Each structure stands twice: as C-alpha cells, then as structure tokens.
Amino acid sequence: MPGIRSQLKEHEPADFRSRFQAMFVIVTVLVSILVIRIWYLQVIKGGEYRQRSESNSIRFRKIIPLRGLIMDRNGIVMVDNQPSFNLIFLPNRPQDLHKVAERLDRIYTANGMTFHTDLSLDRVAQPSVPIRLARNISREEIAVVETHALELPGVIVEPTPVRKYMQDEMIALVIGYTGEISQEDLDKDEKGELSIGDIIGKYGIERNYDNYLKGRSGAEHVEVNVSGRVTRVLGRIDPTPGYNLRLTIDSRLQKIAWDALEGRAGAVMAMDVRNGGILAMISSPSFDPNLFTKGISFDDWERLSSNPLHPMEDRAISGTYPPGSTYKIVVAAAALEMGLIKPATKFYCNGHFELGNRSYHCWQKNGHGMLDLHRAIVQSCDVYFYNLGKLVGVDALAWYARGFGFGERTGIDLPHEKGGVIPTKAWKMSRFKQPWQQGETISLAIGQGFNAVTPLQLLSAYASLANGGMRWRPRLVERIETPDGQVLKAFGPEAIGRIPVQEKNIDILNYGLWGVVNEGGGTGYVLHRKEADVCGKTGTAQVIGQVQEGSGRRRAFQGDTRDHAWFVCFAPYRHPEIAVVVIVEHGGHGGAAAAPVARKIIDAYFQPPRPEETKALALKSLTAAGSNLPASGERRP
C-alpha cells in the first residue's frame, strides 16, 4: 500500500490523489457499516427474526368440535349440527385488517354484494392469530372470495359446524340456543378453557349442560404460502365431540301440545307422575332458535326483544299467575289435615258470602245450595271455600301451600325458574308495611289476591296428589351418552319431599278431582272420556280486580284484561301415569279454553302412535343424523 501511494504521488496529479483518498474512506465506512449490520442481524437479532420468519409461514388453526346431539326419550334427534362457512383472516400485522376489509368491500360491491365486519377488532388482533371477518357466508360469497384469492392474501374460507334445531319454535324455550362467547362469559371462566370466538350454550338445556355438549377443541399447525393458502399440515390434535343428551321429552306429545295451543299465549306441560320426568313443555309465543346459530340480525333481535308478548320468556317456569280455583285443593287439604272439617261437612251457598260490610260472590250467581266437600270441589263453589279460608287462616294456609311446593323453585334443570309468591301476614308487613286483612284471606281461598304460582309448580303439586304424596324433582334430561351410545351418566327420580297430607285425605281430594271431570255439573266435564279415568280441576285467574255489579255478576272483560284459563289434571284415576297443566292467557274459563288442550294430550298419551307418525318421526331422525357431518376434517367416533 505505501508503494502504491508513493507511485501515485509521483505519477498522478494532486487533485486525483485527493479524490481517490476520499473514495477509499467512503468505501471503507460503507463496508464497515454493512459488516456491523450483518453481525447485528445474524447474532444479536437472529433469534427474533427467525421466529418472525417461522410465524409468517406457520399458522395455528383451532378446530371446532361438534356439539353433542339432543334427542327425545325415544331417540328422535331434536338438535343436530350442520356445516357453515366463516371468512377468516390470518394477519401478519394487525394493521393489515383495514387493507383487507377495503379490498373485500370493493370486491363485494363489484359483485352486487355487501360486506360488513367489525374493524375495531384490530385493537385486539395479534399477528398470526386468526380473525373472523364474517360468519355463515353464502355459496356466492365463497365463490367470490376464491375467485379473487390472489388479491386477498391471508383470507381463507373455513368450515365450522353450527346448530340445527329440528323442531324450531315448539322446543326453543326448553332447548335454548347457542351463541358466541361474551366477555362476561370469559371473565367467569376460571379454568381458562374458553377463548374469543368460542360457541357456547346461551339459554335452556344448551346452557345448563354446556360442559357436556360442547366437546373439546382440536388444533392444527399448518404451513401457508404468501397468499395465506395451506400448503401442508405439520401437526394435528383431533377435536373431541360433545356428549349426547337423551331427554325425558316425547317429541310426539310436544307437537300435539304445541298444535293444541293454536298459537295462543300460554303454557302447557306434561309430567310422568311416577318419577318427575317432563314429557312435554310448551311456552307460547316462542321464537326460532335457528336465528341465533349463525348470528342473529339486528332487525330480528329488535323484533324479539320488543315484542310485548315476550316470546323469549319461558312461561312454563317463569310465568307467575294467580292459580284461581286450582288452588282450592290446597285449601281443602289444609282444612282436612287441621281437623276443621270432615268430608261430610256442609256449607250453604246462596251465591254470596258476607264478611263485615262486604259481600263476596260465588261464580254461580244463584248459588249452589247445600254442599259437602266433594260436591264443592266438583262444582268449584266459591262460597264453600270462602268458609274454609276463614277457618284455616292465612299463615296456616301458606304453610300447607309450601308443603305442596308453592312459593319456591322446583329445582328443574333449567335456568330462570321463578319461585312465585305465597303470602303471609309477615310477608305483607315486610312488603307493604301494612297489616293483613281477613278479607284478603277470603280472596286467597279461591286462588286470587297475592297468590302467584308457575305452571310447573301447579303441575308438580297435582302430580304429588296423583302418586300418593311424593314430590319428585322435575327433570328434563334422562341420561348423557357418549357419541357411540354408551351411557356416561343417568338421572333417576329424585325425591324432594312429601306433601303434608295423609293418604286417606289424598284419596278424598282425588275422588273430588275425579268428579270434576266425570260427574254431572263438574266444571271439567269437557275432558270426560268413556274410560272415566281423568281427574282434574279448572281455574279462572283474574287479571285485574273484578268490580262486581249489583246482581253479583262479574263484568265481562275483553282482550288483555280477560281472565286467564287454567286446567290441571292427571290420569288414569287408578295407578296414575301422567299429569298435565294448561294455562291460556286471557282465555276466559278454564273448562272452555284450557281443558280441551289437556284432553288432546291425554288422548294422545293413551293412544299408541299411528304407523305413519312412527315412520315420519323415524325418517326425520335419520335425516337429521345424516346432516351431522364432520367439519374441518373432524371425525366422529
């Protein structure tokens, strides 16, 4: 080097030598910077960039498991799974979401479609973590996305199973529905098993048995190209499908009950009195749970939530009503057990009952004449039970009512059950800061006033009379099965107590209930069958106070001020099997509006299904099972 420099000094002009020296310095500096940068990237940051490189080509994909089937007691599939398709984005950077959304919007618009997504997702988005852009996209949308795949790097169509509710509205308030997990649900997940985007049970059976139904998610590690398309699977953990539920519900009775109610607001339930199994459970109006499986629209949600008839309220367990004359059986039980009357004890009904300066009228304005307990139950004489109510008193009556299960939840395996109201002197003082009036006891004696019960409570009480006094916890699930049909867990009858009535008095009460349906003058004679095997009681529950005219007749109200109609029954009289309760809101008299509904259920229960019915149900079940196909490569054992 010194030799070269000396030669340059001897043979080149001075200005050339200075430019060469400057260039030499610049080249040396640049080479040094390059070497230092390479060393920094290779040694200092090598591990980080290696990880970034791998994350750009390797993706983690969650595989959604199939939820368990829900079947009726006969194995008919009521809830199944069906394939759906979501639009998924695998970002390298969260900011990419906006660019992809703009491209999708442009492509959709060019094809006459509309694209919507939540761009606020970029606040929680992480590189390489999938973001769902749209749920349940149509086949046309799938075709558009696949056609423009090169313009949409990282965007893929992912199959996923969603629920299919086979009986739509008639089973919605029992089965419930599923939906995407909320932040509130995530906060309650102490085990950390759930994550954003998971589908869980939101209502009814789907919610109560979600841990059994949901299964366990699987996962795949896949390699993708620059367009986000999978080139190969590097590893896989298969998902575990959820367990199946076998209900106590009978699909055939469920449909008969739904059809018999004819769209009127109300509730219908049937129970096996021998074990507490619910055979049918209807609440009307209802809703289509399939609206929720693929993401309910704002318009549909607004229509449901603002409906004045509250279609999302389960009237069978959450609706509370005055029990009307169906409550008279509790009053009679209390009077018998307390020794205040005997079956032969008579009272005279001239159409009204005097207490102080007020007159309480019977529904039969001309009166029933002299009656004993049996005929008072058969003809539902108000005056007879006014006398019993005065004898028993409010607090004693409340004690017996609670012994029948009123005023507390039954414990059925559904959320949102209400306990109703059974008033006492202390209750009124605590609630209204007012003392109890004896006239209020008179109203309670015929099931009016502060009394409020649910259809399920009334059904359970009469089922206890039918079976000799045992109170069974109502239940909807018979057993939980593995996907291949093995019984994982069975739910047998669970006794929760006995009604506080002696066997001899139960026989007296049940004979009276038999007379209601089978004797002349019985208020439930419309349900009379040639077999003479039904015991029941009608009831009329006031919606508003009935201001009575001078003749003693109640004014006839119409519309939403009209009385609710009750009917509750069990059959057969000897060795009972089934109990049924019906309430028709604003239906008027129980014998006219509610009893015919119960009659159809009783008739169907004791009549074997016709061959065409059996064939139709079997075909529907097979069709449903055929749609239960694996999604995302899932395999069901």
Which residues carry out catalysis?
325
Instruction: Name every residue whose Cβ is closer than 8 Å to that of residue 102 and which is 6 or more positions away in sequence.
Output: none
Three-class secondary structure assignment of 349-417: ECCEEEECCEEEECCCCCCCEEECHHHHHHHCCHHHHHHHHHHHCHHHHHHHHHHCCCCCCCCCCCCCC
User: Which residues on adjacent β-strands are paired with residue 614?
Assistant: none
d(CA 103, CA 98): 9
CB atoms within 10 A of CB 144: 20
Q: How far is CA 189 from CA 65, 184, 186, 196, 506, in A?
A: 19, 9, 5, 12, 48
Residue linked to tokens 């039954």: 410
User: Which residues on adjacent β-strands are paired with residue 89?
Assistant: 131, 155
Which is nearest to 79 in space by CA: 186, 170, 16? 170
Beta-strand relationship, 244-247 and 70-71: parallel
Instruction: Name every residue whose Cβ is closer than 8 Å to that of residue 381 and which is 6 or more positions away in sequence.
Output: 349, 362, 364, 368, 371, 375
d(CA 419, CA 408): 4
Beta-strand relationship, 266-272 and 244-247: unpaired
Cis peptide before 572 (omega within 30 of 0): yes
Sign of the Cα torsion 314, 317, 323, 328 reads positive
Quick check: 413 and 477 in contact, CB under 8 A?
yes
